[in-house]
Structure formats: C-alpha cells, structure tokens
Structure 1
Amino acid sequence: MSEISNALEECGALQFGTFTLASGAKSDYYINIKKASTNPRVLYLISQLMAEKMQKENIRPDRIAGIVLGSIPLAAALSMATGIPFVMVRKEQKDHGTQQLIEGDLDRGENVLVIEDVVTSAGSSAKAIALLRENGAVVTDIMSVVDREGGGKENLAKIGVKLSALITGSEIVKGKR
C-alpha cells in the first residue's frame, strides 16, 4: 500500500457506508480530504508528493489555484513547498468586500496549475478552469489527491486539461470493502 493511502486511512479520511457525492453519484466509500488537510503531517505529505509529481511530470506553473474550500489548504501547502504563489477561486461571488471570484494576484497569460482534493466527474473543476481562463489564465493541468475514476479525467481532457492524481479511488479501497 502506498504512503498516501496509508496516511489517508490513518487520519480517518477513508470512510465506508452510503454516500452521495458532489456529482450526485452514490458511493459505498467516501474520502474526506478535509480530515487529511487539517492534519499537519498528512497535509505536509500531500504537499511533498504533489511537488515531486510536478517535477516528475515537468509541470511548471506561474501560479497554483485552489478552489474554495476543500483545496485551499492543499494549494497553500503546495505553494509553501514550491515557492509558487497561489490564488483562491470562489464558487460564488460574495456580496461584500471586493466581490472577487479570484482572490490573489493573477496576470493574463500566466500558466496556472489547479489543485483539487478529490475529482469524480470534474464538474466543479471545469467551472473553476473556465473562470480562470476567462480571467486570462492558461490552464492545461490539474492535480488532485484522489481521482475517483468517475469520468473526471475524460471530462477534463475534453477541455484540454490533463489530470494528475496522487492516487486513484480503486487503489485506496483495494481489498478494504
């Protein structure tokens, strides 16, 4: 079993039961990445593994983007591990403050790596990518902790984005059900 799979299980992120996912799909397991991203040891491990994967796959962004709320700690940790600044992408506009959907500095033409916690169908990822692109970002890569293998990789490929994941759902639950 991989280091990330062990860490997710040990921190209680892997749960079994009956769950409805953000995509609306039903599942007999759930990966609560918030349990992982609020655990300093696991968050550090994720940031290190993502930084290694970026280097191995020659992903060299100008910015990292996290989608509010789940992937913000992941994006912040990866930013600290790599020295690459990050932005936060909101799902909806607030009615106070600056009312920005993208928080942080983003310049036109910058190459942005989107970070996700768990990707199933990639619906929320696709919306965030569209928003980033509308604001001048170049997005060709997304990295997630887990690819649940629910069509997300294929859906992202249709919009010209490559998904890289630290682990797949089937690798995590193998032999555990």
Structure 2
Amino acid sequence: MLVRQLINLTNSEIQELVKILQKVNVVQFGSFTLKDGSISPVYIDLRILPNFPNEFKAIIKLTSKYIKRSRLDEEFDGIIAPPLAGIPLGAALALELEKEFYLARIQQKDHGTKKLIEGNIRNKRILLVDDVITSGISKVPILKTILDHEGILAGLFVFVNRINNPQDQTNLEERFDLSLTNLLCLENLLKLA
C-alpha cells in the first residue's frame, strides 16, 4: 500500500482553486440526490469545467503542480478515469503530467473490441482519477476492473472529497489497499462560497 500522499495546499492556493471553480459555478445550492442516494443541499458539478477552457486549463495546471510538489506523480505510471466527469479531468491531468491515460468503461460493449479498458495496464501502477467522492461506492466497479486487468492500484485521486463518514474512506482504502488523495474538500468550497 502507498503511504498516504497528502497534497498540502496553503490557504492562498486553496483560495485560488476555489475562486476559479466559483467563477464557472461548479458549486450549486438546492436539493440534490447524490450518486450514493443521499440528499444534499450542495452539488459539485465538475463536468462543466471543460466548457470553460481557460479555467479548465488553470485547474489542471495547478493540480499538476501540486501533485508534482507532493511527489505523488512518482507513484504511478498511468491514469484511468471513469465516465463521465472523470474522463476529461483524468485525460487532461495525464497529458499535463506526461503520464499514460487509459479509457475505461462502466460496462462492456457488445460490439467493437468489447474491452472494458482501452490499452494494456498489466503490471502498471494505475492512479484512478475522478471528480468527486461521496461514499466511494461508485468507485468499486472500476477499481475491481483495474485489478481484473492485472493493473496495480497506485491510489485514488479526486478533485473534491465530500465524504461525510470517515469510515467510508477507511473501508475503501482497506478493501483495495490504496490511499485516497484529494485536492479539495467540500468545506474548502463552502467556506469561500
């Protein structure tokens, strides 16, 4: 298992990231049903970030800088990101970090190559990159797919961690023998909203 990698950001770095995300209205308020079924007054929508190329590029460049500074980039060979929001974030981050990127599917297609992962990840250290984590339940299928394809789980990186129950994070980390690293947490976004 990886030693827990932390991306220690200064308050001004957090403020810079949050300011960019606020500019494109990533944080929304209302009543939302989250992927894990819970109801929340806050929704984090990073899927819209690629609609704003300058802000998207800035977030990716800053994230890459912080990953390199924490030396997390030395712990993996390639990135896999789940559809939908994860793919543009993971692909852009892989490009910026000069790492391999692998497309993954949630379910196998019955046409074409019928692959769940495009490319050979066998014996490669893979970082799963996604936009947000709420409970970790939705990450389980893709983590299993990585292992089924003989990839080595190097960790899980999310842009925003909104896990309410710390035991959910511990369970996920222990089940897959990996560390979860996040750029921001929900509190960062709410403090400055």
Match of 1:20 in 2: 33
Match of 1:137 among 126, 130, 151: 151
Per the normalisation by structure 1, the TM-score is: 0.91
Q: Which runs of 5+ in 2 are unaligned?
A: 1-13
Q: Over residues 24-59 of structure 1, what are the superposed CA-to-partner deviations in whole Å (9 max), with x where a residue is unaligned?
A: 111000011111133212221232233223223322
Q: Over residues 127-149 of structure 1, what are the superposed CA-to-partner deviations in whole Å (9 max), with x where a residue is unaligned?
A: 21111011111113111110012
Q: How many residues align?
A: 175
Structure 1 residue 64 and structure 2 residue 79: aligned? yes
Give 1:160 shift: 1.4
For 1:53 and 1:155, the matched residues in 2 are separated by 26
- Could you say which structure has the greater relative contact order, defined with CA pairs below 8 angstroms and 6 or more residues apart? 2
For 2:17 and 2:152, the matched residues in 1 are separated by 29
For 2:62 and 2:137, the matched residues in 1 are separated by 25
Match of 1:73 in 2: 88
Give 1:108 shift: 1.5
Q: Which runs of 5+ in 1 are unaligned?
A: none
Give 1:111 shift: 0.3
Higher helix share: 2
Match of 2:163 in 1: 149
Q: CA RMSD in A?
A: 1.6
Q: Over residues 58-103 of structure 1, what are the superposed CA-to-partner deviations in whole Å (9 max), with x where a residue is unaligned?
A: 2221111111111100111112111111001111112221111112
Higher mean C-alpha displacement, 130-139 vs 147-156: 147-156
Higher mean C-alpha displacement, 52-61 vs 133-142: 52-61
Give 1:172 shift: 0.5
Match of 2:11 in 1: none
Match of 1:102 in 2: 117
For 1:153 and 1:120, the matched residues in 2 are separated by 9
Structure 1 residue 126 and structure 2 residue 143: aligned? no
For 1:113 and 1:80, the matched residues in 2 are separated by 14
Match of 2:48 in 1: 35
- Amino acid in structure 2 at the alignment position of 1:161: L
For 1:150 and 1:90, the matched residues in 2 are separated by 27
Alpha carbons of structure 1 residues 175 and 43: separation in structure 2 relative to 1, 3 Å: closer
Alpha carbons of structure 1 residues 155 and 50: separation in structure 2 relative to 1, 3 Å: farther
Equivalent position SS for 1:2: helix
Equivalent position SS for 1:113: strand
CA contact (8 A) 1:49 1:166 kept: no
Alpha carbons of structure 1 residues 150 and 62: separation in structure 2 relative to 1, 3 Å: same
What is the aligned-residue identity percentage? 28
Equivalent position SS for 1:154: helix
Match of 1:117 in 2: 131
For 2:150 and 2:58, the matched residues in 1 are separated by 31
Higher mean C-alpha displacement, 150-159 vs 40-49: 150-159
For 1:167 and 1:38, the matched residues in 2 are separated by 21
